[in-house]
């Protein structure tokens, strides 16, 4: 699927380049074509980034219900990763569709997620919260790793039933 998307974007760029270089269109039409293709590229990138089922490297939601975890331990060839399948909690209720997240591997988070999944297998639902890790202030995209989060997981509180 990603190959098909890549080829379709490449074909679109080729057609745009041909139209810009060898057509007899007025300059305003060429500028409109260039702006339209640029907007389409960024929109397409956002759509592909949000495909359901693909783990996103984005930050976890502030509150979430933990559904599943896959741990890829580091080896000589890979740095390892932690894959989480979570339901974000919005206004006290889980959102309808879960989302997969990819986190960099750390031993502490590996142990925390291992314990959480053991409890989940025993029927104890797990809820997680995140907070940004304290660090230097400033523009985050200038400092790689500045968007790291502190993840905490605990037992989900029992639902409160209304009185009869």
Domain boundaries, the chain: 2-49, 63-155
Q: Give the model's pLDDT for residue 1.
A: 58
Query: Among candidates 109, 145, 148, which has minimal Cα distance to 132?
Result: 148
Query: Among candidates 66, 159, 61, which has minimal Cα distance to 112?
Result: 66
Q: Give the model's pLDDT for residue 111.
A: 94
Extract the runs of DSSP E, i.e. beta strands, from 30-148.
63-72, 81-90, 93-94, 99-104, 126-132
Q: Give the model's pLDDT for residue 142.
A: 52
pLDDT greater than 70 at residue 144: no
Total residues belonging to the chain: 164
* Residue 88, strand partner residues: 64
Give residue 2's pLDDT band: very low, low, confident or very high (50, 70, 90): low
Average pLDDT over residues 138-162: 71
pTM above 0.75, yes or no: no
What percentage of the chain carries pLDDT values higher than 90?
A: 35
Query: Among candidates 122, 134, 146, 126, which has minimal Cα distance to 63?
Result: 126
Euclidean distance between CA atoms 40 and 91, whole angstroms: 33
């Amino acid at each position: 699927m990603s190959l098909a998307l890549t080829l379709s974007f490449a074909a679109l760029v080729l057609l745009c380049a041909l139209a810009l270089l060898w057509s007899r269109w007025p300059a305003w039409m060429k500028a409109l074509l260039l702006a339209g293709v640029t907007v389409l590229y960024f929109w397409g990138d956002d759509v592909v980034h949000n495909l359901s089922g693909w783990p996103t490297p984005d930050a976890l939601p502030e509150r979430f219900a933990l559904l599943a975890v896959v741990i890829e331990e580091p080896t000589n060839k890979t740095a390892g990763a932690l894959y989480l399948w979570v339901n974000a909690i919005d206004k006290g209720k889980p959102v309808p569709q879960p989302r997969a997240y990819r986190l960099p591997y750390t031993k502490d988070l590996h142990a925390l997620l291992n314990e959480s999944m053991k409890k989940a297998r025993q029927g104890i639902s797990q809820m997680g919260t995140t907070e940004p890790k304290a660090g230097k202030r400033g523009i985050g995209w200038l400092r790689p790793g500045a968007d790291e989060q502190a993840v905490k997981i605990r037992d989900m509180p029992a639902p409160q039933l209304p009185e009869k």
